[in-house]
């Protein structure tokens, strides 16, 4: 049997030829029957990838009408509404499924994202990048373009302004060894690796727990466990040779990977565990290996916006206890999360302060206040 229009559409989408994919899905839908239903599901997914949420919602709605017994179109419909920030409508859409089965895995997965959405950031404050922000300049590569269009990527991943800034810093300072703590879906990884590729030298080591299980890559053909997905993103961008991914707790894995503590890291992005203790452990592991004049970039230094105390605590303690060894700047970013820039200017004692009981308690209360509704 020859290829159906649906097969041709899926193949075109995998190759990034989205216009052709949409044409073939349209043909498959026009032919009717099961093929049409499957093609509509694929087309809705592609519409979401392309940021055409209204078209995706319409396809999911037609699928819900055609297959009222199937739960997936309804959950995807509710998920798309949440991506658009229409959280109340999304919950209303999800209600019948949860009513029928409160433990339905697809629906509970979405419910957890609702809780994160509401618990971490009150709905009114959630700031998806505006079309203006996203399209102010073209993406640095095709894969970054696709990832940035996917609303699930932000605000977990850096915004484009920060990514472009990281890229420029690598192009300017030409580091040989770059370390990243906190890979997530690989967005900042791609910015750093792209810059190393353009430099024609240097390597990135990126550390993460790689524990996310509900993420689905918007890059056609990229699937698997979290670490395979990030590797897939790097491969699709032609950058896999510039980056090595390390799975596990960042500070202990880093120490295992670089046991000799030679001052070889030229640039480090710390964007992993944002608790006071986690940040401090990452800092101590990194500081012992930082090259003279090496740079450490610290994401989320504004606790009011990010909800985390660790990065700000680190900056303030470096200023207080290790000012002879490090210059520490704390810059606002357009989305309010803040970025710290630390440069090793002295011999580089990491700082020997301890987290006081008072600070631990303050963090505990802070976490409860911000995330209380999740527990």
Ligand X SMILES: C[S@@+](CC[C@H](N)C(=O)[O-])C[C@H]1O[C@@H](n2cnc3c(N)ncnc32)[C@H](O)[C@@H]1O
With both helix axes pointing from N to C terminus, report the angle between 357-371 and 105-120 in degrees, rounded to the nearest 10.
120
Helices marked H in the chain:
5-14, 18-31, 33-49, 53-66, 72-83, 87-100, 105-120, 131-135, 142-149, 160-173, 187-199, 226-236, 250-257, 276-287, 303-306, 310-321, 357-371
Q: Is 271 in the site for ligand X (CB under 6 A)?
A: yes
Candidate segments 16-24, 153-161, 217-225, 319-327, binder of ligand X by CB under 6 A: 153-161
How open is the CA angle 4-73-57, to the nearest 5 degrees? 95
DSSP at 107: H
Please identify, among the stretches 111-119, 131-139, 179-187, 312-320, the one whose residues bind ligand X according to the rule CB under 6 A. 179-187
Token pair of 147 as six digits:
């990832």
**Of the two residues 68 and 336, which places its CB atom closer to ligand X in the complex?**
336
327 with 295: CB under 8 angstroms?
A: no
Measured from the CB atom, the residue of 65 and 125 that comes closer to ligand X is: 125
Q: Does 250 bind ligand X (CB under 6 A)?
A: yes
Query: With CB under 6 A as the contact rule, which of the stretches 97-105, 237-245, 266-274, 340-348 interacts with ligand X?
Result: 266-274
Nearer to ligand X, 78 or 190 (CB): 190
For the bound state, the minimum distance from the C-beta of residue 187 to ligand X, rounded and expressed in Å, comes to 4
User: Minimal distance in Å, beta carbon 172 to ligand X?
Assistant: 19
Nearest alpha-carbon partner for 149 in 45, 42, 22: 45
Beta-bridge partners for 295: 267, 343
207 binds ligand X per the rule CB under 6 A: yes
Q: Which residues partner with 327 through β-bridges?
A: 343
Cα–Cα distance, 248 to 32 (Å, whole number): 48
Least Cβ distance, residue 188 to ligand X (angstroms): 3
Shortest reach from residue 263's CB to ligand X, in Å: 22
Residue 357: CB minimum distance to ligand X, A? 22
| Least separation in angstroms between CB 42 and ligand X | 27
Which residue in the set 113, 156, 370, 371 belongs to the binding site for ligand X (CB under 6 A)? 156
Least distance between ligand X and beta carbon 192 (Å): 9
Residue 187 contacts ligand X per CB under 6 A? yes
Binding site for ligand X (CB under 6 A): 156-158, 182-184, 187-188, 207-209, 211, 249-250, 271-273, 278
């Amino acid at each position: 049997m020859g290829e159906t229009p649906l097969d041709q559409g899926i193949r075109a989408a995998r190759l990034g030829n989205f216009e052709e994919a949409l044409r073939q899905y349209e043909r498959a839908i026009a032919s009717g029957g099961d093929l049409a239903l499957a093609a509509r599901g694929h087309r809705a997914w592609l519409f979401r990838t392309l940021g055409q949420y209204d078209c995706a919602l319409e396809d999911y709605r037609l699928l819900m009408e055609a297959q009222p017994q199937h739960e997936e179109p309804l959950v995807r419909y509710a998920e798309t509404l949440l991506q658009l920030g229409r959280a109340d409508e999304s919950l209303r859409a999800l209600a019948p499924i949860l009513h029928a089965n409160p433990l339905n895995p697809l629906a509970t997965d979405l419910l957890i994202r609702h809780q994160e959405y509401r618990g971490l950031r009150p709905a009114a404050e959630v700031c998806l990048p505006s079309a203006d922000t996203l399209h102010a300049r073209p993406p640095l590569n095709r894969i970054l373009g696709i990832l940035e269009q996917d609303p699930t990527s932000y605000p977990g991943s850096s915004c484009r302004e920060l990514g472009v800034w990281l890229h420029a810093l690598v192009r300017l300072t030409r580091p040989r060894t770059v370390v990243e703590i906190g890979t997530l879906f690989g967005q900042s990884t791609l910015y750093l690796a792209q810059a190393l590729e353009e430099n024609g030298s240097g390597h990135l080591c990126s550390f993460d727990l790689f524990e996310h299980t509900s993420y689905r890559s918007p890059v056609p053909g990229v699937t698997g466990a979290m670490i395979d997905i990030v590797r897939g993103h790097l491969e699709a961008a032609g950058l896999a040779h510039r980056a090595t991914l390390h799975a596990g707790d960042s500070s202990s894995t880093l120490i295992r990977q670089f046991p000799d503590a030679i001052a070889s890291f030229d640039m480090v992005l710390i964007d992993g565990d944002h608790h006071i203790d986690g940040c401090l452990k990452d800092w101590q592991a990194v500081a012992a290996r930082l090259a003279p004049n090496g740079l450490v970039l610290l994401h989320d230094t504004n606790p009011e916006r990010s909800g985390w105390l660790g990065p700000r605590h680190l900056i303030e303690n470096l200023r207080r206890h290790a000012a002879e060894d490090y210059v520490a700047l704390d810059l606002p970013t357009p989305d309010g999360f803040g970025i710290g820039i630390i440069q090793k200017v002295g011999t580089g004692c990491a700082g020997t302060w301890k987290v006081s009981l008072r600070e631990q308690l303050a963090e505990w209360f802070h976490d409860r206040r911000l995330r209380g509704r999740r527990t």
